A = this chain, B = another copy of it.
């Protein structure tokens, strides 16, 4: 008896493959001309549009052995929408360039589309276009758009001495989940491993921060210290962060058993762990921080160092993530 092979993308032509993908994709509240023509048309009633682009590559950003297609789709949507939120904007749409080896199962592609759709739908954002190609590895290139709703974009460069530094979202969960997987201990804490597979950025907190008067705002993708350094340099200030085990006490407690299991200093994950896609913001002193922002430090006049922890140069976690170095 012959077991039928799982259908791959090589078994379908482009139209047939698109017919499997389209039903999973939300049209989006702002979509005026949906996919199917040479280009889509998206409403931008503000007269400006926020634009960002992020690429996920198999065996660089995800492994098919570790993540389902649905999880990769959710992650691709989340990390792009996080960059939109980090401008203080509301996500409206995304487009997806998808490169696939001919051996890619059709079911994996459908799951990816469903994940992209599920990541966009709660925000009213549509998947308005894309391109399919064959290639030597799976690559998902997403471009996302956002609406500033009449507000000024909140840049990295607006922090001023005297401001409060605040953070919204998880810290260190993704790095801890990845460390567990790499150590073959993925079963020790499903929630942390899931946090690596699919980040949960506080997407609505970006607009809330803008409304509350945030002076600077950014997505934390490469680790708190490294991204805080970027904000500090862009603003011409120094950030003095509080003890991370106090500022992020809930996260520190949550990560402690995994850190003990792997013999890792939990501060390393809190300060240097990437891919959680929390939001780092600065607010004028005395401003009421919108939930779920918590105060994590203060802004000082520019000093010799971009970022301090409890007033001192940090001993761990300054390297972050670099794609091209071993």
* A324 x B17 contact (CB < 8 A): yes
A contact residues, total (Cβ < 8 Å): 76
Considering the chains assembled together, what is the distance between the CA atoms of A56 and B141 in angstroms?
12
Which residue of B139, B234, B322 is within 8 Å of A99 (Cβ)? B139
Considering the chains assembled together, what is the distance between the CA atoms of A195 and B26 in angstroms?
38
Q: How many copies does the complex hold?
A: 2
Q: Which residues of B contact A153 (CB under 8 A)?
A: 33, 37, 39, 41
Which residue of B56, B59, B96, B155 is within 8 Å of A37 (Cβ)? B155
Tell me whether A48 and B42 are in contact in the complex, defined as CB-CB below 8 angstroms, given that A97-B97, A102-B324, A322-B13 are known contacts. yes
Considering the chains assembled together, what is the distance between the CA atoms of A323 and B101 in angstroms?
10
* A55 x B13 contact (CB < 8 A): no
* B102 x A133 contact (CB < 8 A): no
Is residue A43 contacting chain B, with contact meaning CB distance below 8 A? yes
Q: Nearest residue in B to A132 (C-beta to C-beta)?
A: B323
Tell me whether A51 and B17 are in contact in the complex, defined as CB-CB below 8 angstroms, given that A57-B134, A97-B97 are known contacts. no
Which residue of B41, B45, B83, B234 is within 8 Å of A148 (Cβ)? B41
Q: Which residues of B contact A234 (CB under 8 A)?
A: 36-37
Contacts of A128-159 to chain B: CB distance below 8 A? 128-137, 139, 141, 143-146, 148, 153, 155-157
A321–chain B nearest beta-carbon distance, Å: 9
A47–chain B nearest beta-carbon distance, Å: 5
* B323 x A53 contact (CB < 8 A): no
* A135 x B137 contact (CB < 8 A): yes
Q: Which residues of B contact A45 (CB under 8 A)?
A: 47
Is residue A2 contacting chain B, with contact meaning CB distance below 8 A? no
Is residue A32 contacting chain B, with contact meaning CB distance below 8 A? yes
Considering the chains assembled together, what is the distance between the CA atoms of A59 and B136 in angstroms?
9
4 A-B pairs besides A14-B322, A37-B218, A40-B51 with CB distance below 8 A are: A13-B325, A52-B129, A60-B135, A136-B137
